[in-house]
Amino acid sequence: MKYYCILPFLLLTLISSAQTLSPAISVHDPVMIKQDSLYYIFCTGFGISVWSSADMYHWKKEKPVFDAPPQWALRAIPGFKGHIWAPDISYHNGLYYLYYAVSAFGKNTSAIGLATNKTLYHASPDYKWEDHGKIIQSVPGRDKWNAIDPNLVTDDAGISWLTFGSFWEGIKLVKLNADLASVAQPEEWYTIAARPRDFVTPDTAAGNAAIEVKQDQCVVSVHQQTKFCRLRSYFSRFSNVFDHARLQGT
């Protein structure tokens, strides 16, 4: 009888352990950042999925960033249920900046929001995500771009820009204010990647900045083929790059 009593206990212990730390996790659109001794992954999911790890091999499932869908997103995106896409995180001026996208699938009914936190460590008394709401929004019939897949970049002069986009007229760039939470005035918008291109332009004709873009659909099966291309600027500063050149992907 002892064996029958102990075995279920051991089985439950193993299951519990496997749920706490796992070397095999599945994530979509991940971004990773390190705070102190822990690595954190933020990825597409309800409320923005979060994982933590001390070794980048064994991962612990953390609480999502949002317990409930942001109210501004519910108003902006009809049918939005809280599934948030492609977060991007970075650390500036004592805060973690987490950009994220909300969208109606297959449409450019989309918007990019921002949340900030003093720490990523859940047990800290300073742990609290503050949502700053919408940064930009794309509207069908008005905009020929899609406000998803954000990424924060800073040029050599310390000016911050938000890159984003998918399908429609490609990858866009918009200048941000110093607070990183709003679009700078007067507004500066650029197209940095679009499908049409003079393919004879050599990749070696490049400067200091580079991005990678993907063509066609996101990977939905192991049999799907996906094309990637690398784009480079001809100038060192983003503010100069897009005044003088429009980079287009193959």
Q: Is residue 29 flagged as an active site residue?
A: yes
Phi, psi (rounded to 5 degrees) for 20:
-80, -50
Q: Which amino acid is at 23?
A: P
Closest residue by Cα to residue 228 from 244, 204, 212, 206 = 212
The answer to whether residue 62 is catalytic is no
> Looking at 156, 179, 203, 212, which residue is catalytic?
212
d(CA 214, CA 212): 7
Question: Cα–Cα distance between 63 and 54 in angstroms, integer?
Answer: 17
Phi and psi at residue 135, in whole multiples of 5°? Answer: -95, -50
Q: What does the alpha-carbon distance between residue 10 and residue 96 come to, in Å, rounded to a whole number?
A: 40
Residues acting as catalytic residues: 29, 212
